[in-house]
Amino acid sequence: MMIGNHDSCSELLKSYHLHNTMNDYRIAQLKVGYWTVCIHEIQSEANFEIVQRDFHCFKLDSMGKPINEHFQDLLECIEFAQLNSGMLVFGYPELEQLSRMAQVFWAERIGGSVA
């Protein structure tokens, strides 16, 4: 038994595919003490909007296994890396560097320039 017509089913599948296709990017990363701090974004292919943004840092433990920490705030992520590396906790210079890297990443993707 066929439900609906063929055109509406194919349009529904096409729509589902477009809305569920995502691009996954690590747009910036910077070594901060023992940790690597990253900005990670997931972008919808359908309308090119950012669906999710994640700030995380990672390092390898003594056995070579990754340790990952995720944060809601980039500055908090940077300061965590500094604190846990025995560094002075003041994350604004690294925040500016990572923000600039993110701007350059997207400018290169869309063919623009960064002011």
Q: Where are the domains of the chain?
A: 28-110
3-class SS of residue 27: strand
pLDDT at 14 over 80: no
pLDDT at 71 over 80: yes
Of the chain, the percentage scoring pLDDT greater than 90 comes to 57
Write the single-letter amino acid at 85. Answer: S
DSSP string over 31-82: EETTEEEEEEEEEETTT--EEEEEEEEEEE-TTS-EEEEEES-HHHHHHHHH
Span 72-78, average pLDDT: 96
Whole-angstrom Cα distance, residue 62 to residue 47? 43
pLDDT of residue 4: 43
Whole-angstrom Cα distance, residue 44 to residue 60? 31
pLDDT at 32 over 60: yes
